[in-house]
């Protein structure tokens, strides 16, 4: 294969949707890795010729941010902060909307050579033609009827401003797509239709812009999803007509969700719909989402709720939304190096039973010949297990630093509750050391520490825990709690070590297990029987707050402190 070309150029060409979908992230990662392994260039191009879409700064920034988070850097393209382009080889601009003259020039070239033509059918006429094909149970293919209009007349009508598109005159010959994953893909003569290359609004279609850009930007390898395979014969035909080179292609297998369907943002909608069905929710919980929107959505299972209402509803119903975009994984507290590692395995493997690797390994070993042909299943459990392992391998210090940064963005209340909002402190480091062995993600750790940010009066005692841990055997647990509280009050050094000692000596003196003290303490402090190790938990919570929570618990359950 031609992976050995000396000036390999690969590209990632997202449409500015604001989000980097996990599939897009994989495409970017593979293109990046291929360019790195071949010592070439990886470039970023923004495909913003669809005027109906939002093409604002935010929608590009979201994508750049996702790439940067994963550790994917690009040699050419918009700068990560959009302040300037990265352009060592001067193939700028990188926004298709700024390249319209370049497309017009090539388009005129095709029109003059009679390899493309203006067509004047209105959208209604085209719809009627499509409907007719449907009735006759045949695939719709534009029949070239505009060519019945004399050539000069077509040019004159277009020049006079009549609304028209430009169609490519598809060659009646076999087309071969060179693909490193699927082998050569042959398309029989007559299969292609005269597809549109310039829309009525004057913008090039995706097919035309992509072909012109790949040539002008020197792209040698195109790695992209299999959903584009049906487009590629059109691109190859256009390349030939324009006298361009055909890059090597590698079409990636689809990423499927655990249920076997296409992994898409619809999965989020489905998760919330399921929760509504299971809980018989027929109107939105107060303040969660617009009632009219909700009603329309719940009645029509093909309808999708907008992102904001969906998130609000998910929070109100306590539904965990499946992660789909890179940003979702970041917010869920996965480590970027783990996400990058995991998505590299979606359709690719380095062989030799190797599963865990870093970006440097990928840059050295990535090869399109090891890409699979069939769907790659996204296994959330496996990703969580990878993340768990990676967290376990971090030093306490590094975990604390990284978790702190995550909390600063996603859980500032937790930091504020232990005075770590402005800067990392010893209390946070203590909490981090106790949390690290028991969390799969940063969010997991934050959930396990949520009791810290409760105010004392808001602690809700779990009924079962109270019955079992405090009330059983005539309030044995409550008695232990009261007795131990007195010892805690006179404890002068408030460190995990000192608290550990105190629990140990109390247990020995009273001939009980440490759990008999730790569990009542947990219920008093968190309302439940779950918390990090009790010594660290009390140490992080602080002396005054610990004693206040114990006192409240004792009085709430009928025992004076
Ligand atoms: N802009 C296209 C997309 O977002 C990518 C086109 C390509 O890779 O050729 O799917």
**Set 240, 265, 270, 468: catalytic member:** 265
- Give the residue with greater pLDDT, 336 vs 281: 336
For 379-430, what is each residue's pLDDT tens digit? 999 999 999 999 999 999 999 999 999 999 999 999 999 999 999 999 999 9
User: Is residue 56 over pLDDT 90?
Assistant: no
Task: Please write down the HEC assignment for all residues of 303-323.
Answer: CCCCHHHHHHHHHHHCCCCCC
Q: Torsion-angle region of residue 117: left (phi > 0), alpha (psi -120 to 50) or beta? A: beta
User: Is residue 5 over pLDDT 50?
Assistant: no
Question: Is the torsion defined by CA of 426, 431, 434, 436 positive or negative?
Answer: negative
User: Is residue 478 over pLDDT 50?
Assistant: yes
265: annotated active-site residue? yes
User: Is residue 560 over pLDDT 80?
Assistant: no
Could you tell me the distance, in angstroms and rounded to a whole number, from the CA of residue 76 to the centre of ligand 1? 17
**Predicted pLDDT at 50:** 78
For 431-459, what is each residue's pLDDT tens digit? 999 999 999 999 999 999 999 999 999 99
Q: 48 CB under 6 A from ligand 1?
A: no
- CA angle 10-15-16, nearest 5°? 120
Q: What distance in Å separates the CA atoms of residue 378 and residue 358, rounded to the nearest whole number?
A: 19
| Interacting residues of 304 by C-beta distance below 8 A, sequence separation 6+ | 265, 266, 269, 297, 310
Of 171, 219, 196, 307, which Cα lies nearest the Cα of 43?
Answer: 219
For 16-53, what is each residue's pLDDT tens digit? 988 999 999 999 999 999 999 999 999 999 999 876 66
For 489-519, what is each residue's pLDDT tens digit? 999 899 999 999 999 999 999 999 999 999 9
DSSP string over 442-496: HHHHHHHTGGGGS-GGGPPPPHHHIIIIIIHHHHHHHHHHHHHHHHHHT----SH
* pTM for this model (two decimals): 0.92
How many H helices and E strands in the chain?
24, 13
User: Is residue 87 over pLDDT 80?
Assistant: no
Q: Name the β-bridge partners of 348.
A: 371
**Predicted pLDDT at 136:** 94
Confidence band (pLDDT; 50, 70, 90) for 6? low
**Which ligand 1 atom sits nearest the alpha carbon of residue 214?**
9
Q: What distance in Å separates the CA atoms of residue 254 and residue 231, rounded to the nearest whole number?
A: 16
Q: Output the residue whose Cα is nearest ligand 1's atom 7.
A: 13
Q: 210 CB under 6 A from ligand 1?
A: yes
**Predicted pLDDT at 559:** 59
For 366-389, what is each residue's pLDDT tens digit? 999 999 999 999 999 999 999 999
Could you tell me the distance, in angstroms and rounded to a whole number, from the CA of residue 401 to the centre of ligand 1? 37
For 154-195, what is each residue's pLDDT tens digit? 999 999 999 999 999 999 999 999 999 999 999 999 999 999
Judged by DSSP in three states, 166 sits in strand
Q: What is the dihedral of CA 212, 217, 221, 225, to 10 degrees?
A: -60
């Amino acid at each position: 294969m031609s992976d050995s070309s000396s000036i390999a150029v690969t590209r990632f060409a997202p449409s500015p949707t604001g989000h980097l979908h996990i599939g897009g992230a994989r495409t970017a990662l593979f293109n990046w890795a291929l360019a790195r392994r071949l010592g070439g260039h990886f470039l970023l191009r923004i495909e913003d010729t669809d005027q109906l879409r939002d093409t604002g700064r935010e929608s590009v920034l979201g994508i750049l941010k996702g790439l940067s988070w994963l550790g994917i850097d690009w040699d050419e393209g918009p700068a990560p902060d959009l302040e300037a382009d990265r352009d060592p080889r001067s193939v700028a601009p990188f926004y298709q909307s700024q390249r319209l003259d370049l497309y017009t020039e090539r388009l005129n070239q095709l029109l003059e050579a009679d390899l493309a033509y203006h067509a004047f059918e209105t959208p209604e006429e085209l719809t009627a033609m499509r409907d007719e094909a449907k009735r006759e149970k045949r695939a719709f293919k534009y029949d070239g009827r505009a060519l019945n209009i004399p050539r000069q007349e077509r040019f004159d009508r277009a020049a006079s401003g009549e609304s028209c598109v430009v169609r490519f005159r598809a060659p009646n010959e076999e087309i071969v797509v060179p693909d490193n994953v699927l082998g050569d893909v042959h398309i029989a003569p007559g299969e292609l239709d005269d597809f549109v290359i310039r829309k009525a609004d004057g913008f090039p279609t995706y097919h035309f812009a992509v072909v012109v850009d790949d040539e002008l930007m020197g792209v040698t390898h195109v790695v992209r999803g299999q959903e584009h395979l049906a487009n590629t014969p059109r691109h190859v035909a256009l390349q030939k007509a324009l006298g361009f080179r055909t890059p090597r292609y590698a079409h990636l297998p689809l990423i499927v969700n655990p249920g076997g369907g296409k992994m898409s943002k619809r999965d989020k909608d489905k998760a919330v719909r399921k929760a509504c069905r299971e809980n018989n929710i027929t109107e939105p919980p107060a303040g969660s989402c617009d009632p009219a929107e909700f009603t329309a959505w719940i009645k029509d299972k093909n309808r999708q709720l907008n992102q904001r209402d969906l998130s609000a509803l998910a929070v109100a119903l306590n539904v965990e939304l499946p992660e789909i975009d890179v940003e979702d994984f970041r917010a869920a507290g996965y480590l970027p190096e783990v996400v990058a590692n995991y998505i590299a395995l979606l359709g690719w493997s380095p062989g030799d039973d190797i599963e865990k690797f870093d970006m440097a390994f990928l840059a050295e070993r990535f090869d399109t010949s090891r890409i699979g042909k069939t769907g790659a299943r996204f296994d959330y459990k496996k990703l969580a297990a990878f993340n768990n392992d990676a967290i376990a391998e971090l030093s306490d210090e590094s975990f604390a630093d990284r978790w702190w940064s995550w909390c600063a963005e996603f859980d500032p209340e937790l930091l504020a509750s232990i005075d770590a909002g402005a800067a990392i402190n010893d209390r946070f480091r203590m909490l981090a050391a106790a949390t690290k062995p028991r969390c799969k993600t940063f969010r997991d750790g934050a959930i396990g520490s949520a009791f810290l940010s409760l105010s004392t009066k808001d602690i809700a005692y779990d009924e079962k825990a109270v019955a079992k841990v405090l009330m059983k055997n005539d309030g044995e647990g409550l008695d232990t709690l009261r007795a131990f509280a007195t010892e805690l009050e006179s404890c002068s050094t408030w460190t995990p070590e000192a608290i550990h000692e105190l629990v140990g000596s109390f247990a020995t003196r009273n001939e009980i297990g440490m759990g008999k003290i730790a569990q009542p303490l947990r219920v008093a402090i968190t309302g439940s029987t779950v918390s990090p190790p009790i010594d660290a938990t009390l140490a992080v919570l602080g002396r005054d707050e610990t004693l206040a929570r114990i006192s409240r618990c004792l009085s709430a359950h009928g025992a004076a402190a």
